[in-house]
Structure 1
C-alpha cells in the first residue's frame, strides 16, 4: 500500500462497468479487499491492456484507438471515473488450485481425510471452486425465532444494513411457517446426504478404510458427489415442455437418490422436489447471458464463445450468405450484432454455447431495403382438417423441422451490412458485406424464406391451395396424394404412400438443412396421439394447461364443472374507478393469465372460447370480479385438462352449427354470435365474438350469425375441394325457424328491412345450392356453448358434439 502497509485480498474477480459513454468495460483480476473503502483502478494496468490515459484541465479520458471508452473528473488529487458497476458475481477465494470443492462435496471433511482419499487417487479433478453468487436484490426484512444465534453480531449486522429483524414470540412456529416447514423438508434431505457421504469417508476404527467398500465389497467411486445446496441446471424432459420453452430449470441440489439413480433437487419456483440424473452443477462457475462481444471475449468461457461464433460463420459460408465488396457511395451498410445464449441440450451433460448473427433490421427503410414483409402460415383450422382427414382415411403423418430457416431465403433487394464484429478482414476494413441470403433480423427474412420454399415445392410438382398458401398438394391419382403443411419451420407431411413421403423428405433435404422427426408426436405445442387400431386421432394440451395452472398458483384450486358460473355478470361497472384500486389491480397478472389461456382456446378447447372472449373485454382496466372469473376458468381447466379433441374413422363430412345470444353483452347489449364446424367427427373451426351492431330481435341476431357461419363454411368447403374431396350436401344447422324463412324470402320485410345488405348474400348462396340451412333442436346445437354460459349437462352435450372427451370416455 502507499503507507507501506498491507491488506488481505479475500478474492479475485472480474468486474463489469458501464461507462458514461454507454460502453461496457470489463476489468480482470480485480482484488476484493475489505479494508479499502473506495474502488481503485490502476492506470498502469489500463496501459498494459492497450488503453490510453489522458489527464488535462482537471479531466480524465480513457481511449482505445479513436474510441473514447470512459471519462472522469478530478476530485482533490484523484480522478473519479463516471461509471456504474453492472455486476461482480464471481468470487474466486483462491487464485491457485485448491481442494475447496472436494472439501464442500464431502460435507466439509477434515484435511486429513481428504489427503487419505487423494493419496488413493479417489478424488479426480481437484480444482478451485468456492463461489458466491448474489441476486442483486436488497433484503428489507427477516423473520426468525428467538434463537441465541440471532443476537449479538447478527442483530448488529441487520442494524448496519437497514434490515428489519422480526422475532417471533416463544413457542409460536406457526408465525414463521414457511421456514419451519422447509426445515422439515430440507433437513431430512440434508441428513440423508450426510449419511451417504459418511459412508464414503475413511473411518479411524476401520484403519481409514471406507464403510461402503467393506459393506458391499465393491469398488468405491466419488465422481458422482456434488456440493450440497449449490445450484444446478436440471434438464426438462422433452414430453414435459413445448418447443419454445426453456430446456432446463434452475434448482438447488439437496441429495442423492436412495432407491433410484440420479440426484434430488429443490425447485424454488414451483416449490417442489425434482429427481433427475441429467443436470449441470454450478460448482465452479456461473452461467449468464452475454450481451456484447466484448463481454464474450472477456468471459472465462471465451474459447467456447469463439467456437460458437465459428460455427455460425461456417453456416453463413455454407449458405453463401454474403460477399465482400466496397460499399457504393449511395448505399449504407446495416449494422449487426452477435446474440449469445447458453442452452442445455437434451441428453447433454454440458451446456451448449450458441452464437447467432443478427442484422439490425429495425433501421431498414421501406422502398429501399424492403418492399413487402408479409409471410403466410398455415391456419390452425386447416391443420385440424388435415389431421381429421388422416384419422378418417388412416393416412401416414410425418413431421420435419427446418434448420437455419431464414438463411435459405434469397434476397431480391441490394442490401449491405457492416463486416461482422470480431471477423473484420485485415486490409479490407473499408469493405462491406453484400447480402445474398435473408439473415436473421431482416424485416423481409420470413417472406423470402417462404418464397424460396414455395419455389422448391413447385419444382417438385406440388401446388399451393388458394384457401391457404402454406398448404401444398400433389395428387398422383384419386386415391394417391401427398399434403404438406408449413408453419414457418415446422412441416407436416400427410399421405397414404410411405414411399412418396420419403421421396419428398429426401428432395427437401437436398434443398434445405432438414431434421426428420418421424411420425408426428407434437406440433406447435399440441400433443398428437393415434390409435391406429380404432382409427382415432387425439389432440390435447394437458401439459400446457398444467404449466399455466402452476404458473398462476391454481394447480391445487378447487375444481368446478363449468367454464363460467351463471352468477358472473361481468361489466365495466366492475372495473376500478379510483387510482388506488387501479394500482392494486396492476399487481395482478390479469393480461398475462388471459393471454396464456388463449392458446388452448384457439388450438383444442372450443368449450372456453366464449368465456375467454368475455374476460378479454376488460384487459385495459380489469377489476377484482374480472380476476375472479379468470381464476374460475382456471379451476374449470384443472378438472378438464385431460380433454382431447378426437377425430374418428369413417367418411369425412363437414357440418356447421350456428347460434346467437340476444343482447348478451351487459354493457352495450350487442349479441354474441357463435358457430362451430366439425369434420371427421371432431371440431375443426369455431368462433365466438360480439356482433358489430345491436340487434332488434332474436331473428335478426341469429340471421347475422348464420350469415357469418355460412361464409366460413364456403371457405372450408373450397379448401376440402382443393384437397380432392367432395360431399353431396353441406348443411348449416340453426335453432331458429324464423331465420330459415327469412333466408329464403323477405316476408318479414317490415321487421327486417334495416338489416345490412351484406348479410343477404346468403339468399343467393342458398338459391345456388352452395349449402343448406336446416332447423335443429336447441338441445342438439353444438354452438350453444359459444354464446353463453351453460350448466354442466348442456355443456357436456356440446362437448360431445365437438368430440371432446376425456381418456376414460
Structure 2
C-alpha cells in the first residue's frame, strides 16, 4: 500500500514537472516565433501562459540600448574641490594662430577659466599653470580633476603630474560625454555667446579667439540659476561685481594717439574695433587694422551702435560679402557675345561635382601680429595676456568617373574660336566650369569678363586676313604709317640687310566692356638687329610692376580715381638716327618682290631703339606741363601743386593717370590729346593683361584671362587641380632624364614669371623652376605641371587692395637656411605692404652659401631693407613723406640682435657690409625691427613649400583671394 501511494506521488510530481517544462518550451518557442517580443507583448497575446524567467542572449545582442542617465546630486562643498575640464576644437585657425581652447570649471563656484591652444599637447602645461594659479591666488589646491578620456588628459606627463600633486583624476566612461556634462554644457554656453557677440556686430570668423575670451569674461559675471542667481565671480569673491565698464563686442572705437606718436597735423585718434577686456591692465583691447596689432588702451571712446565691420560674412573671414566688393557700377551692361559652337557631336553636360568648404580665413591683407600669446581668460584673476577668399573648395571626386574625350573642332566647322569654347568636351571629369563661378561679381563686371573670354585675337596674318574687322585694322595701320612718313619704299642697297616684320593683333576695350577698336600693330623683328650697326642705345624707361602696385595702393587708400589712356602709334613720334631697312609687311601690294624694302625714317614697334625715342618725346611733353620724374622710378611723373596732385605712370604706350583733382585730370587729358593721338579708355579696368574690379571698398587685381590662355596653351585645361603649387615633400636632387625641348620649358617658365605680377602664391615655385632654364630635366617639367594644376583650381585668385586710410610701410622677411639640396644656398623671401596692401614680394636664391641660419636671415633682412628704402623714396616723391619708422618683421632674434649691436664680432666679419647697411637704417630710426612668431611670418610662403593649411592661411593674410571659387 505504501508503495502504491509513493508511486502515485512520484507520478503526480512527474506530470507537474512535465507541464511546467512544456509551459517554458511554449513560452520560449512563441518568443522565437514572434521575433523576440517583450514580455508585456507576449503576456497580452497569451494571458494563460505564465511568465517564465528566461534570459535570452539574442535579445541582448540585437536590442541592447544605453541605460538611462540619472542627474547627479553630488556637489562640491568647497572651491576647487572638483574641477571639470574639456577641450573644444579643432576649428579654423584664428588670426592669432589658435585652433583649440580648454576650459576649467570649478564645481562649487562654477567660475570658468579658458585657455587658448595651438596644439592639444599644450593641455599639460596649461593645467600646470592653472594649478599654480589656484595655489598662489587662493591658497587652495585642486582635489579632483574630471575630464573625458582624451589622449591629452591620459598622457604620461599629465598622469605623472597629477600623481605628484595628489590630485585624483576621474574620467568619464568611453563614449559617454554625458558624464562630463558640466564641462560639455559650459563649452556650449561659451560658443552660443560667442556666436551672439560676433553675429550682432558682423565680426569675422578669424577673431573667434577673442570672442570666446570675451564670452567667458561675461559668463563669469552673469547670474546663474544653479547659484541661486548669483554670478560665479560673486560666489567666489563674496561681493557684488561691477558691470558698468562693459561695452558691445565688435563695435567701433576711437583710441587716442599719444603726443609722442604723432605730429601736430596728424590725426589724434585711431579708428579701431573693440575686441574685449584685459585682465592684466585696466583698459580695453582694441585691434587696429592698419598696424595689425591688438593693444590694450585706456583712452578709448566707443560708438556701440556702429559695427566696425560693415556686413556679416561667415565664410570670407573679413566681415563683408564679396558681392559688396564688386557692386554693379552705373555702366551699361554688355550683352554676352558668346559665339555659337558647331560641335561634331552634341555636348553632354557633366554633373556638377559636390564641394566641401574649408573654413580657413582668407582675405584680409591687414595681417595680425600678436605681441604676447593670449592664453587665459579669467577676468578676476588677472592672468589674461593680450596680444586684422580663404574659402578653399575641396573638390570631392565622384565614384566611377566618366571618361574624358577631347577633340578640337576642325577650322572649317567653327567660326572665330573662343578660348573658353574652343574645345568640345564630352563628360570631362575636371571641366573648368566646376572650378569657376562668377556669382560674386556684378552683372556688368561679369559681362566684361565674358567679352574678354569670347574675344578672339588672330595669331597669324593668314588667320586675320580672312576676317573683315582685322583686315580693316591692318589697312588703318598702314595708312597711319604712310601719313606719318614712317618709311620710303626703296630698292635695298648692296651690303645692307633688312629686318623682318610681323603683325600683332590686339582688341582694345572701354571700361564698360565694349570694344573700343581692333588694333593691328606692325612689329619689326628687332632681335635680328646688330649692335653698333643698326642701333647704339636701347635702354627705355618702363614702369616697374612694383611701382604700379604701389600707385594703385596709394590711389585706393586716398579714394583717387584711376584712368587709363592709350597712345595710338606711339613709337611713330620718335625719330631715328640710324639707317635701317625693313621688309615690306605681309599684305602690302609689293611684298612679293624681295628687293623692295622700307627705309625707316621714324621708330616703329619692335626696333630696339624705339622705346627710348618714344620715351624721350613723351617725357619732354610732360615736363613742359609741369611734371617731374620720380627719383625712385623714372617712368612715374608727378605734379604737386597748391591745390592738386597728379600722377602719370608710363608703360610704353599705356598711361595710368590718377590724382586728387578730377578737373586737373581732364585738363591734362586735353593737353595730351593736342600733342598725340590718344584714346581715353576711361576707368582703369584692363591693364597689361591684369583685370581690375573697382568699387568703393577697394580694388581687386587678377590675371584670370591670362591663366585660362596659359592652361589652354599647355593643353591642361581639363587636368586634375592641385591644392598647392608644390609638393610639401619636394626634392630637387632627384636624378631625372634631361629634356630635349628646352624652348617649350623656357616659354612656360617665362609665362609663369609674368603671372607672378598678381600671384604671390606661385612666386617660390616659379623661382625654383627658373633656376634650371638652361638644363631642365623631366623632374623640373613635372614641377611646372604641378604649378599648372594648382592654377587650374585657382584661376581667379588675385590681390585685394582695400582703403585702410594710411600709407604706412611695413615688411616681412624670412630665409630658409641651406634649403637647396644641390648647392646648399639659402632662399631669401620677403613681402612688403603699403597702406595695409601687399605691393612687392620676392623669392630668390642667395648668391653665397650662408654659414649659419642667422647669416642667412641677416642677408634676407638686408634685401628687405633695400626694398623698404626704395618704397620710402617712392612715397616721398608722391608727397607722402612720413617720419614714422618702417616696420620690419623677422622671426630670427639672432639676426635682429646683430642689426642692433654696434660691435662686430668675429663671426660676422664676412657680412660686415650688410651689417653696416641694415644697422645704419635701424640706428637712424628709418627701420624699426620687430620679432614675430613663426606662424605669423608671412614671408614663409616665399622660402619653402608649405602644408596645405599653412599655405592657404598665409595667402589669406597676404590679401590673396579667389572670388571665382564655386559656392
SS across alignment from 1:574: coil
Q: Deviations over 1:675-733 (max 9, x none)?
A: 11012222111111111111111111111110111011101110010000123221111
- Which residue number corresponds to residue 412 of structure 2? 230
Shift of 1:555: 3.2
Q: Give 1:540's match in structure 2, choosing from 702, 709, 713.
A: 702
Q: Deviations over 1:312-341 (max 9, x none)?
A: 5542343344689999x9x98774767568
- Which residue number corresponds to residue 619 of structure 1? 773
Q: Residues 358 and 557 of structure 1: is their aligned pair in 2 closer, same or farther, counting only changes over 3 Å? A: closer
| C-alpha contact (below 8 Å) 2:418/2:453 kept by paired residues | no
Q: Residues 733 and 417 of structure 1: is their aligned pair in 2 closer, same or farther, counting only changes over 3 Å? A: same
Whole-angstrom CA distance in 2 between matches of 1:525 and 1:548 = 12
Q: Give 1:642's match in structure 2, choosing from 786, 789, 796.
A: 796
Q: Deviations over 1:240-262 (max 9, x none)?
A: 7xxxxxxx97999xxxxxxxxxx
Count of aligned positions: 527
Q: Deviations over 1:549-582 (max 9, x none)?
A: 33334333333332212221122x4232xxxxx4
- Which residue number corresponds to residue 752 of structure 1? 908
| C-alpha contact (below 8 Å) 2:742/2:774 kept by paired residues | no
- Which residue number corresponds to residue 512 of structure 1? 676
Whole-angstrom CA distance in 2 between matches of 1:657 and 1:763 = 17
Q: Residues 345 and 233 of structure 1: is their aligned pair in 2 closer, same or farther, counting only changes over 3 Å? A: farther
| C-alpha contact (below 8 Å) 1:678/1:802 kept by paired residues | no
Give TM-score, length-normalised by structure 1.
0.57
List aligned pairs for 1:46-85, cutoff 5 A.
none
Segments of structure 1 that go 5 or more residues without pairing to the other structure are 1-183, 191-226, 241-247, 253-273, 281-285, 425-429, 577-581
The reply to whether residue 552 of structure 1 matches residue 714 of structure 2 is yes
Whole-angstrom CA distance in 2 between matches of 1:279 and 1:414 = 39
The reply to whether residue 771 of structure 1 matches residue 927 of structure 2 is yes
Whole-angstrom CA distance in 1 between matches of 2:767 and 2:602 = 41
List aligned pairs for 1:360-399, cutoff 5 A.
362=528, 366=532, 370-399=535-564
Give TM-score, length-normalised by structure 2.
0.48
Q: Residues 323 and 721 of structure 1: is their aligned pair in 2 closer, same or farther, counting only changes over 3 Å? A: same
Q: Deviations over 1:29-69 (max 9, x none)?
A: xxxxxxxxxxxxxxxxxxxxxxxxxxxxxxxxxxxxxxxxx
- Which residue number corresponds to residue 562 of structure 1? 724
Shift of 1:384: 0.5
Whole-angstrom CA distance in 2 between matches of 1:275 and 1:775 = 48
Whole-angstrom CA distance in 2 between matches of 1:522 and 1:634 = 23
Whole-angstrom CA distance in 2 between matches of 1:771 and 1:545 = 37
Shift of 1:797: 3.3
SS across alignment from 1:560: coil
| C-alpha contact (below 8 Å) 1:574/1:626 kept by paired residues | no
The reply to whether residue 490 of structure 1 matches residue 654 of structure 2 is yes
Structure with the largest fraction of strand: 1
Q: Residues 345 and 792 of structure 1: is their aligned pair in 2 closer, same or farther, counting only changes over 3 Å? A: closer
Whole-angstrom CA distance in 1 between matches of 2:523 and 2:791 = 41
Q: Residues 791 and 344 of structure 1: is their aligned pair in 2 closer, same or farther, counting only changes over 3 Å? A: closer
- Which residue number corresponds to residue 629 of structure 1? 783
Whole-angstrom CA distance in 2 between matches of 1:531 and 1:300 = 40
| C-alpha contact (below 8 Å) 1:677/1:684 kept by paired residues | yes
Q: Deviations over 1:143-164 (max 9, x none)?
A: xxxxxxxxxxxxxxxxxxxxxx
Whole-angstrom CA distance in 2 between matches of 1:652 and 1:712 = 15
List aligned pairs for 1:186-225, cutoff 5 A.
186-188=344-346
Shift of 1:615: 2.3
Shift of 1:342: 8.4
SS across alignment from 1:394: coil
Q: Residues 442 and 600 of structure 1: is their aligned pair in 2 closer, same or farther, counting only changes over 3 Å? A: closer
SS across alignment from 1:406: helix
SS across alignment from 2:626: coil
SS across alignment from 2:555: helix
| C-alpha contact (below 8 Å) 1:334/1:363 kept by paired residues | no
The reply to whether residue 796 of structure 1 matches residue 958 of structure 2 is no
| C-alpha contact (below 8 Å) 2:501/2:583 kept by paired residues | no
| C-alpha contact (below 8 Å) 1:463/1:474 kept by paired residues | yes
The reply to whether residue 592 of structure 1 matches residue 774 of structure 2 is no
SS across alignment from 2:768: helix
Whole-angstrom CA distance in 1 between matches of 2:719 and 2:459 = 36
Q: Give 1:699's match in structure 2, choosing from 842, 854, 864.
A: 854
Whole-angstrom CA distance in 2 between matches of 1:714 and 1:561 = 35
Q: Residues 496 and 621 of structure 1: is their aligned pair in 2 closer, same or farther, counting only changes over 3 Å? A: same
SS across alignment from 1:678: strand
Whole-angstrom CA distance in 2 between matches of 1:707 and 1:544 = 34
SS across alignment from 2:650: strand
Whole-angstrom CA distance in 2 between matches of 1:277 and 1:718 = 39
Bigger-Rg structure (1/2)? 2
Q: Residues 249 and 744 of structure 1: is their aligned pair in 2 closer, same or farther, counting only changes over 3 Å? A: same
Shift of 1:343: 8.6
Whole-angstrom CA distance in 2 between matches of 1:235 and 1:521 = 24
Shift of 1:742: 0.7
SS across alignment from 2:842: strand
Shift of 1:667: 0.7
- Which residue number corresponds to residue 814 of structure 2? 659
| C-alpha contact (below 8 Å) 2:508/2:519 kept by paired residues | no
The reply to whether residue 474 of structure 1 matches residue 639 of structure 2 is yes
Q: Residues 630 and 780 of structure 1: is their aligned pair in 2 closer, same or farther, counting only changes over 3 Å? A: same
| C-alpha contact (below 8 Å) 2:830/2:860 kept by paired residues | yes
| C-alpha contact (below 8 Å) 1:416/1:432 kept by paired residues | no
Q: Deviations over 1:399-439 (max 9, x none)?
A: 1111112101133x263759979899xxxxx9998865223
Whole-angstrom CA distance in 1 between matches of 2:724 and 2:491 = 67
Shift of 1:591: 3.4
Whole-angstrom CA distance in 1 between matches of 2:758 and 2:453 = 34
The reply to whether residue 725 of structure 1 matches residue 725 of structure 2 is no
Shift of 1:609: 1.0
The reply to whether residue 575 of structure 1 matches residue 736 of structure 2 is yes
Whole-angstrom CA distance in 1 between matches of 2:906 and 2:413 = 75
Deviates more, 1:734-743 or 1:547-556: 547-556
List aligned pairs for 1:245-256, cutoff 5 A.
none
| C-alpha contact (below 8 Å) 2:529/2:535 kept by paired residues | no
SS across alignment from 2:722: coil
Q: Residues 417 and 591 of structure 1: is their aligned pair in 2 closer, same or farther, counting only changes over 3 Å? A: closer
SS across alignment from 1:186: coil
Whole-angstrom CA distance in 1 between matches of 2:842 and 2:626 = 35
SS across alignment from 2:543: coil
| C-alpha contact (below 8 Å) 1:610/1:785 kept by paired residues | yes
Whole-angstrom CA distance in 1 between matches of 2:582 and 2:790 = 54
- Which residue number corresponds to residue 762 of structure 1? 918
Whole-angstrom CA distance in 2 between matches of 1:757 and 1:680 = 31
Shift of 1:593: 3.2
Shift of 1:779: 1.5
List aligned pairs for 1:289-304, cutoff 5 A.
289=461
Q: Give 1:606's match in structure 2, choosing from 732, 735, 760.
A: 760
RMSD in angstroms over aligned alpha carbons?
A: 4.5
| C-alpha contact (below 8 Å) 2:922/2:928 kept by paired residues | yes
Q: Residues 470 and 674 of structure 1: is their aligned pair in 2 closer, same or farther, counting only changes over 3 Å? A: same
Q: Give 2:685's match in structure 1, choosing from 521, 524, 538.
A: 521
Whole-angstrom CA distance in 1 between matches of 2:949 and 2:819 = 21
The reply to whether residue 448 of structure 1 matches residue 602 of structure 2 is no
